Structure 1
Amino acid sequence: MEIIKVETKEQLKALNDCSAMTWEGLIEEDFGAALDMCGAEGAKGYVTKGKVMNEICHLTGSNAYPDDLTIFSIDKYKGLAIMVGARWMDDILSSNADREGYYPFKE
């Protein structure tokens, strides 16, 4: 199981661009199960901490994630995200951007 730590805007943009299947608050013990159940062949897991998401997306106040919250994403997925309690990363980022008025990936 390959798990990659997301620390840059470029990494987050890649997850946005592929509409990665994403869980906000998934615990580390469930990463393997999520990959096994939802990952397509060759899928990788990505962990973004709330602090990183807050910094990149300029999230503040009630829109900000707890710094230590784990946001887990899968780049190549199978099945429907809603059936496993996940959302698409681009949906999450778009909703955050709408609330904050800051769009991190608009040029």
Structure 2
Amino acid sequence: MPLDPKIADSAPNAPQLTPYDEQHAVTYMRLLDALADNADWREVARIVLGIDLTVDPDRGRRTFESHLARAKWAARQGFGISCSAVGRRVRNECVWKRAALLLVSDRKIRWSHHGIA
């Protein structure tokens, strides 16, 4: 598995984990970390996805949104499988990320019901 896999313009949207997802498990975890830290999407696109927003900000936004959506999906649906592919340390972190994401998602849902979103 490459240490720094190339980022596609759009993450997969298959109903199961793909080889791309397995190669980008660490990228997905970094995106979830950034979400939990309320990081600015531009900073995340630059640092995590390696996208130069001065060249193509629209591509950067689309790529960021696509990969964040896939990271959320993977955390809810299939990261347990993907984590086993990247080793014990990452697998343990992955379980934590999944729990953190569910907590963040739950808070956002509750906040949106209270008009805070």
- TM-score computed with the length of structure 1 as normaliser: 0.32
| Greater gyration radius | 2
Return the structure number with greater strand share.
Answer: 1
Greater relative contact order: 1 or 2 (C-alpha under 8 angstroms, separation 6 or more)?
1
